[in-house]
Amino acid sequence: MRKNRPNWNVLEGDVKNFDFTNFKNKVDVVTGGFPCQAFSYAGKRLGLEDARGTLFYEFARVIKEVNPPICIGENVKGLLNHDNGKTIRGMLSVLDEIGYNVVPIQILKAINYKVPQKRERLVLVGIRKDIDIKYEYPMPYKKIYTLKDALKKGELFDSDVLISIGAKYPESKKSVLDLVPPKGYWRDLPIEIQKSFMGASFYLGGGKTGMARRIGWDEPCLTLTCSPAQKQTERCHPDETRPFTVREYARIQTFPDDWQFSGPMAQQYKQIGNAVPVNLGREVGYSVIKFLNEYYRIKNKS
């Protein structure tokens, strides 16, 4: 953040050690991403104190201290079913307790928002209870972009992808992936190689379409992971037998080419793989601005 936004006041550390009360009623939106940790349930209805010890508690505490008109939480879609749905219900009741109504939750598909990648994200939007304005999720675009749009000059980027550092497959994996055609996966391998590559997984059945997967130019990429060469989530380049490089990863997540990543290569992959795709984030941002413009229009009238 400091490298790319030198004028920002970047505070770094454990969120538990920060007090946000000096921002009360001065900030328009609080956003956060948090892991889905199970809550220990005290009684039927979960309150803020019951969520202590989780990062969601810190997210809710910040909202309570700042009191913004709108708050946005971002998570994996698995949150909906986590702990049989108890976790999400607990989160909703905590937000209710601190004065926020949650808009019906939606899973946003990145491919609908100019992102050449099949990634889904749950967006949780809370509106302060004294505000009677409808929040509307961003409208999907009609066009779906592909790996070619990500890595070649075209509508999304005005040049081919920059050359950069990248992970390599071990020779044993490379020799297997060499045999996989574009858009193919482990089932396209000779049966004996399938058995040795998949090990016990071969006999378990099921799809496992992400294993030994080579992406095609004319399709969106599968969801990028934090580690590009790990087994079971291969995302092989269409023409060359290698994982995507750091800058290719960044393009697939729609980062601009001038955004710099820090630290060792593994950390750079992790930063990119964990991110919300930039173009998806931008669309959510526009939807928040639209909501806030309406909020201030009404507020300034009264």
Sign of CA dihedral 22, 72, 293, 9: positive
CA dist., res. 269 & res. 167, Å (int): 9
Nearest CA-CA partner of 157 in 29, 43, 287, 254: 254
Structure tokens at 247: 């800058």
* Residue 268 predicted with pLDDT over 60: yes
- Decide: helix, strand or coil at residue 122: strand
Q: Which of 88-92, 138-142, 230-234, 261-265 has the lowest mean pLDDT?
A: 230-234
Out of 1.10.10.10, 1.10.540.10, 3.40.1000.10, 3.90.120.10, the CATH code matching 147-274 is 3.90.120.10
296 — pLDDT class (breaks 50, 70, 90)? very high
Mark 113-127 as b/e (b = at least 16 C-beta within 10 Å).
Answer: bbbbbebebbbbbbb
Does 36 qualify as catalytic in the annotation? yes
* Residue 68 predicted with pLDDT over 70: yes
Task: For residue 8, give every residue at least 6 positions away whose Cβ sits within 8 Å of its Cβ, in sequence order, or none.
Answer: 1, 2
Nearest CA-CA partner of 133 in 300, 297, 284, 302: 297
* Residue 43 predicted with pLDDT over 60: no
* Residue 49 predicted with pLDDT over 90: no
* Residue 42 predicted with pLDDT over 60: no
pLDDT value of residue 205? 65
> What CATH code is assigned to 15-143?
3.40.50.150
pLDDT value of residue 177? 94
Please list the residues that pair with 127 across neighbouring strands.
Answer: 70, 101
Decide which of 115 and 36 is more confident.
115
Give the position of tokens 């020779």. 171
Average pLDDT, the chain: 93
pTM of the model as a whole: 0.92
Is 177:241 a contact under the CB 8 Å cutoff?
yes
Structure tokens at 15: 């969120």
Backbone φ and ψ of 123, nearest 5°: -120, 125
pLDDT value of residue 134? 96
Is 20:65 a contact under the CB 8 Å cutoff?
yes
CA dist., res. 187 & res. 130, Å (int): 56
User: Would you kindly state where each structural domain of the chain is located, as residue ranges?
Assistant: 15-143, 147-274
Please list the residues that pair with 120 across neighbouring strands.
Answer: 109
Cα–Cα separations (whole angstroms), residue 203 to 9, 97, 188, 196, 210? 54, 49, 16, 11, 16
pLDDT value of residue 269? 96
DSSP 49-90: GGGTTSHHHHHHHHHHHH--SEEEEEE-GGGGGGGGGHHHHH
Q: Which of 36, 71, 221, 236 is catalytic?
A: 36
Structure tokens at 158: 């005005």
pLDDT in tens, 88-144: 999 999 999 999 999 999 999 999 999 999 999 999 999 999 999 999 999 999 999
Nearest CA-CA partner of 225 in 243, 209, 239, 238: 243
Please list the residues that pair with 222 across neighbouring strands.
Answer: 118
Provide the phi-psi class of 13: left if phi over 0, else alpha when psi is between -120 and 50, else beta: left
DSSP 218-232: TSPEEPP-SSTT-TT
For strands 70-75 and 29-33, give the pairing: parallel
